[in-house]
Structure 1
Amino acid sequence: MDKQQISISLPQRPWYGDTRCEIGFPGDWDVTICAMPGQDMTRLTGEGMKAAFDRPIGTPRISELAKGRREAAIVFDDLSRPTRVSELLPYILAGLKEAGIRDNSIRFIAGIGMHGAMKVMDFEKKLGRKTVQRFDVFNHNPYENCTYVGETSRGTPVYINSEVMSCDLKILVGGIVPHPTAGFGGGAKLMVGISHIDTIYGNHHGVGGRSAPTPENPMGRLHPTLRCGNIEGNVLRADLEEMARMAGIDCIVNAVFNIKRETVGLFVGDVVAAHRAGSEMAEKVYATRSDGGFDVLVLNAYSKATEAGVTFHCLKLLKKEGGDVVLICNVPEGQICHYTARSFGKERGGRLWGPRKTLPPQVKRLIMVGPNIGRACLDWIGPVDEVVRVKRWPAALELLKKQHGKTSKVGVVPDATIQYFPGWE
């Protein structure tokens, strides 16, 4: 008699209901769920959030920072990041009100960097409908309306959003999740969101050494200090932190998340000191241990589903001879527009784009699962004609069963967009 089927529930559709999808394997397969340590951490209560604002790290409270200031800019990350900004805003706005800053002196800037512009419905998902009706909310433009503030010690020309620079109080709101170049997101990483394209290119390529992708390096060639989870000595982050000081960033509000995108840690204060404290927690939450050696690797893209390619830092979990990869990505909007890293024609793209001519060497077959995976969405996943696309899990399982059986080892990463594997980097 066959063993009972192995069933696994995975999160999907961030910002669109945050539902679950069920995947299954034959009961006699050797399946390992590579869960991150903080997967089931308890969501931070309102009291816990208030405590973070009451005891900032390295700065006075927002109400004290804001005293005597006239104009406030609140920069927030976009839907490609898991931050539930709306639940953090009451504490920020209360501090500004206490300091005497009126609503018409507060504006929100979407720190989209080189991503496509957000729409009102996107702003509402991030900020809440009432906030969008109450305050001015603007997109950042990486090509125009940026003010030159100088050059970093590493040679990056610094042009920052002019609306932000016109304000005498500047707050960055985002999340701390693993990042393949900056170590972790959050902190000064959001400076990319409000910088000119020449500044972003100078930081990513000139300092970070990033180039067009290769089969061996999906993120392209990088400076050796750039990798998931690495903050200290990271030249790209150091450059961004210098930019943040030059721009006069007063305060950050950064969240750490569980597998449901719920805020489980909150760090308020100095752009460097608060971020370092948050990164210490982030390592404990996201750093996942695994012996690897899998024949089949299932990577679920959830928190950063619109940037599914970031899951490829997990490929080293495959056995040395290589194996099959199944990338699950269910998000209605598909992959995010990225003006430096994606294609804008069959043979042309942004400054850091390059054609994916072959699959990564350790990937024998790449199966992508999701109902909204357009052909052009594969430009930063793999060669279009070598990626097998299916809409639902059962179709992917049938493909796997034809190739694999009882002796195959399967690894499942519940959210490969925010998990990382120290020792495999």
Structure 2
Amino acid sequence: MPRSIRLPQLPWHGPRWVDFGLPDGWVVETCNIAGHDRPPMSDAQIEAAINSPIGSPRLRDVARGKSEVVVLFDDMTRPTRVARIVPFILDELASAGIGDSSVRFIVAASCHGALTRIDFAKKLGEAVLARFPVYNHNPYENCTFVGTTSYGTRVLINSEVMDCDLKIAIGSTYPHLLVTYGGGGKMLLPGVAHIDAIHANHLLGTKGQGSRVKGQGAHIHANHLLGAEFSAKSTSQTNPARVEIDEAARMVGLDFLVDNLVNCTGDSVAMYAGALEPAHTACVEEASAHYLAPKARDKDIVIANAFAKASESVIGLNTAVSLKDAGGDLVLIANAPEGQVVHYLIGSFGRGLGNRLGMRFPVPPKVRRLIVYSEYPDLAGTGPFDDPSRVVMLDNWDRVIEVLRESYGDNAAVAVYPSADIHYLG
């Protein structure tokens, strides 16, 4: 196996590049996002972005006279290096005369599993944990009603968040299966919302992205993500779930947003800070070019690497569009030592137990076999798929190649997507 592809792995466990061997005779097309190799922002660039906000005074001016501060941050399913950003936020708060005792951090984990102290340290740094309380979000209790959206969803938000008169959020924007783009108001709904509001918003998303609703549950067409025609305008005006998120965010009143774009290794390469809507809109406008990857066609094999969202690797199934119409094999690389994220809305909690949303992920029609490769097997967490007979779980790369060669020998047309979890295809 004299040739190989080099792919980023393990965003929260010592990020590194790993070589994956391939047969020499395979014809390989690598489809990177446009911004895959953009350099990480320097500290000076991060500081400049935070201190030159869009549509807002400087954070120190927004913070003056406030008494209680919450800093929301995204969880381990997102690669945002929050620890690099927080010091500049804290400097602004100190300049406004806000003491440490008035500040707390809350992870906007929605209905994902709770983070541990180890996770908090990776996200925020030990210095933050030594100075400030850091809390998980409980989507089942202690949420305050803030209003009803035009879609009829009763929005309840974490009560600790609502008790603060200065609300700051740090996250990143990526293409998103249900709401076209994440980031922005998603830090609030679903980030720190009640499970009932999260449920209702996800249902809107399944209807808004061309998914089919079957019975009481939504069956997501996982091979559909975004097309090149999406723009900031269409995102805010045509996707019901995104519209509702923005409505909810206005009800809550987020005071300052820090939204990031990341490269293929999860480093922030662009940052938009300031008022929620103009900052997020500007971020999405750049994201539409930054995350664009060329769409390969007529391939025997697709290799979809999940890095930024390795613990939500099912997102990579969108790459099935690159297989031949007659069908082929999709290899999903999902190296997540923590396993697939615990998700109380769409996760599986037993062989005979579904989930609250009733969601199943169809193996896309053109996929003969879905080969899920992980050095950290998670038989319960990967899925749930609606046709497990076409799913093969392997934890040895040589075995992956052996299985593929049994079908294709040394002659195969292959597409490799190094950032299958954060791209959209054009």
TM-score normalised by L of structure 2 = 0.92
Larger deviation, residues 343-352 vs 229-238: 229-238
Correspondence for 2:394: 390
1:368 partner letter: V
Query: 2:182 corresponds to which letter in structure 1?
Result: G
Helix, strand or coil: the match of 2:332?
strand
TM-superposition CA deviations, 1:24-83 (whole Å, max 9, x none): 222221111111111110111111111111211111111010011110011110000010
Q: 1:85 aligns with which of 75, 82, 87?
A: 82
Pick the aligned partner of 2:240 from 231, 235, 242: 235
Q: How many pairs align? A: 416
Shift in Å, 1:382: 5.5
Spell out the pairing of 1:153-168 with structure 2 (5 A cutoff): 153-168=150-165
Match of 1:283 among 285, 288, 302: 288
Query: Letter of the aligned partner of 2:313 in structure 1?
Result: A
Is this contact kept in 1: 2:74–2:109, CA < 8 A?
yes
Is contact 2:4–2:19 with CA below 8 Å preserved after alignment? yes
Q: How far off is 1:406 after superposition? A: 4.9
Q: What SS is found at the alignment partner of 1:87?
A: helix
Distance in 2 of aligned mates of 1:281 and 1:207: 23
Q: Which residue of 2 aligns with 1:333?
A: 338
Q: Is the 8 A contact 1:81 1:304 kept in 2?
A: yes
The code of the aligned residue for 1:277 comes to: A
What is the identity, as a one-letter code, of the residue corresponding to 1:23? F
State the shift of 1:353 in Å: 3.2
Deviation digits for residues 76-127 of structure 1, max 9, x if unmatched?
1000001000000011111111111110100001111110001111100100
Contact 1:160 1:196 survives alignment (8 Å): yes
Output aligned runs, 1:10-409, within 5 Å: 10-191=7-188, 192-206=190-204, 209=207, 211=213, 212=217, 214=219, 217-218=221-222, 231-232=235-236, 233-355=238-360, 359-381=363-385, 383-409=387-413
Q: Kindly tell me: are residues 237 and 132 of structure 1, through their superposed partners in 2, closer, same or farther at Cα, counting changes over 3 Å?
A: same
SS at 1:284 equivalent: helix
What amino acid is the match of 1:244?
A
Structure 1 residues 54 and 359 mapped into 2: Cα distance closer, same or farther (>3 Å)?
Answer: closer
Distance in 1, matches of 2:92 and 2:354, equals: 43
**Counterpart Cα distance in 2 of 1:207 and 1:383:** 23
Which shifted more, 78-87 or 393-402? 393-402
| Aligned mates of 1:141, 1:414 — CA distance in 2 | 34
Change beyond 3 A, Cα 1:68–1:219: farther
Letter matched to residue 130 of structure 2: Q
Aligned counterparts of 2:128 and 2:179: Cα–Cα separation in 1: 30
The answer as to whether partners of 1:182 and 1:189 remain within 8 angstroms in 2 is no
Give the whole-Å Cα distance in 1 for the aligned partners of 2:186 and 2:360.
26
Instruction: Tell me whether 70-79 or 182-191 shows the greater mean CA deviation.
Output: 182-191
**TM-superposition CA deviations, 1:284-309 (whole Å, max 9, x none):** 22111134221100011110000011
How far apart are the structure 2 equivalents of 1:359 and 1:262? Answer: 31
**Quick check: 1:340–1:349 contact (8 Å CA) kept in 2?**
no
* Alpha-carbon distance between aligned partners in 2 of 1:273 and 1:258, rounded to the nearest angstrom: 22
Q: Which runs of 4+ in 1 moved over 3 A?
A: 210-214, 226-230, 353-356, 381-386
Q: Structure 2: how far apart are the matches of 1:245 and 1:187?
A: 11
The percentage of counterpart residues that share the same residue type is: 39
Shift of residue 388 of structure 1?
Answer: 1.4
Q: Secondary structure at the match of 2:89?
A: helix
Structure 1 residue 219 displacement after superposition: 8.5
What value does the CA root-mean-square deviation take over the aligned residues? 2.3
Determine the C-alpha separation between the residues in 2 that align with 1:228 and 1:124.
Answer: 35
Aligned 8 A contact 2:256 2:274 in 1? yes
**Cα distance, 1:185 vs. partner?**
1.4
Cα distance in structure 1, aligned partners of 2:321 and 2:231: 13
- Is 1:410 the counterpart of 2:414? The answer is yes
Contact 1:300 1:413 in 2 (8 A): yes
* Distance change (3 Å), C-alpha of 1:236 and 1:376: same
Supply the AA of the counterpart residue of 1:241.
D
Paired with 1:269 and 1:23, the residues of 2 have a C-alpha distance of 41
Output the CA distance in 2 between the equivalents of 1:118 and 1:196.
17
Q: 2 CA distance for matches of 1:254 and 1:275? A: 7
Unaligned runs of 5+ in 2: none
Residue aligned with 2:235, SS = coil
Say whether the 8 Å CA contact 1:184–1:228 is kept in structure 2.
no
Q: CA 1:412–1:213 in 2, change beyond 3 Å: closer, same or farther?
A: farther
Counterpart-to-counterpart distance in 2, 1:80 and 1:118: 11
Amino acid in the other structure paired with 1:48:
Q
Secondary structure in 1 matching 2:422 = coil
Equivalent-residue separation in structure 2 for 1:375 and 1:41 (angstroms): 35
* 2:308 alignment partner, SS class: coil
Q: Retained in 2: the 8 A contact 1:309–1:381?
A: no
**Range 230-239 or range 362-371, more displaced:** 230-239
CA distance in 2, matches of 1:67, 1:416: 43
CA contact (8 A) 1:183 1:231 kept: yes
